[in-house]
Amino acid sequence: MNSKKPGTLFVLFLLLMCAALTLFFTAAEDYYDYASSSVEGAAQTAPLEKEDLLNLNKKTNEKFNTEIKFRNFFLTVPGAQQVELQADFNGWGKTPIKLKKYNRGYFEISLALPAGEYKYVFVADGKDVLDPTNQDRTQYQGRTVCIKTIR
- 33-37, 71-75, 109-113: segment of lowest average pLDDT: 33-37
> For position 37, what pLDDT does the model report?
57
pLDDT digits (tens, 9 = 90+) for 44-98: 555 456 666 566 556 555 454 567 778 899 999 999 999 999 999 999 999 989 9
Q: What are phi and psi of 4, to 5 degrees?
A: -100, 135
Position 80 scores a pLDDT of: 95
The alpha carbon torsion through 22, 28, 30, 31 (nearest 10 deg) reads: 160
3-state DSSP percent of the chain in helix, strand and coil, to 5: 35, 35, 30
Q: Are 85 and 130 in contact (CB under 8 A)?
A: no
